[in-house]
Amino acid sequence: MNRTFFCVLLLGLLMGCNNTKPTSSGPPVEPGISLPASSAISGKPNYLGTTLKARATVESGNRPDSSHSDRLFLNRDGTRLALSLGKTEKTQIWDMSGEPKKLFEQKGRAQAFSPDGKLYLRSGADKPEIVNAESGAVVSTLQYEGTRDHAAVHFRTPEVLIGAMFANRESGKPGELIISEFNTGTGQVTASFKVAYEARNPSIVFGGMDGVEVVVGDSKTKKVQFWNTITQKPSLECLLAEAMPDSHWSYFYASFDGKWLTAQTAKAIEIFDTKTGAAVSIVPKEANGARLCPTGDLFAAHMVFGDEKYNVHQGYVVYNIHRKEHLAFLPSSGLALTFSADGKVAVNYTKSGELQVWDMTQLAGK
């Protein structure tokens, strides 16, 4: 992604763009559903249009916990799914190539899924383990100093895993940002670097699906840094306009093709053009979460709203970013939505513990 854009974007967001304040960090999991305080059933606007019927709906056999810590991971072509269950600390692996079929369930929560869907990283043991997603066998155990889990992990390729963590923060002294590259077959560190970091409440995410850049933000010190995991050097640094009263800050999701970025703050969820840095679309105020579709100029916002007959609906409204209009409605009490990288499959995990599978090719040409 264009690094100049990131600087413009972050400075614009954090120094007065819409006067938004960051409130959340962490994995890309949709928040729980709640009816907006202001009337969402006034009949205007009407977001119902083409309603897409899920290709399949199956029971996972698990009831989501109230913390909404469950996560979904799809491989690149949407044929394999890892469902990470926070409450029971288990992972389910599903075959999604036809009718969804659960292959097995194991102890430990999935933290990342390889692009080909053959490996996943799980926590729950003394140290995270690389697991064969087809057999459930442990391939390797990550070897690194200390016992602290990585704050962010990402498979750059099936052979390379990138992990980022903070260490030594408990001592009251400046901590260390540690970014490591692992060989997934052996679990050994193949490259690593450490940086002294004055982070009191750090948040770490990956800046794109290629796993090259790690983004680190700290609401107390007001510092946001981008680190290139290949050059082992900072690629960008920006400052927040003011310190936040809590430990959370704005977080971003990037489209797989690098064209779009979504930024979620206290008051709005906005879509940005990564070439120009311009905000091209603002998610409706009823939305309580939004995800970019990996292909095409589309994003999906989870919403609770009313139609002209004052019936309350909840689900994902799919928008065209350029035209700023909705294309379809995916009814769901969703907790987590994920897409395959080719944009053909979407899977949602509902409040009742169901997996819903949508064929997104129905939107081709819209």
Query: Given a cut of 50, is residue 86 above it in pLDDT?
Result: yes
State both tokens at 175.
């901590």
pLDDT at 193 exceeding the cut of 80: yes
CATH 2.60.120.370 corresponds to the domain 3-363:
no
**What is the per-residue DSSP string for 207-240?**
SSTTS-EEEEEETTTTEEEEEETTTTEEEEEEE-
Q: How high is the pLDDT of residue 257? A: 67
Query: For 10, left (φ over 0), alpha (ψ -120 to 50), or beta?
Result: alpha
Q: Is 23 within 8 Å of 219 (Cβ atoms)?
A: no
The residue that leads in pLDDT, 237 or 13, is: 237
Instruction: Name residue, tokens 């249009």.
Output: 49
**pLDDT reported for residue 91:** 92
Site of tokens 């129905």: 362
The residue count for the chain: 366
Is 361 a residue whose pLDDT tops 80? yes
What average pLDDT is seen over the chain? 74
For residues 321 and 262, give the distance between their C-alpha atoms in angstroms, rounded to a whole number.
11
8 A C-beta contact, residue 151 and residue 204:
yes
Q: Which of 179-188, 243-252, 269-278, 316-325 is the most confident on average?
A: 179-188
Residue 359 has pLDDT above 80, yes or no: yes
| Confidence bin at 253 (pLDDT 50/70/90) | low
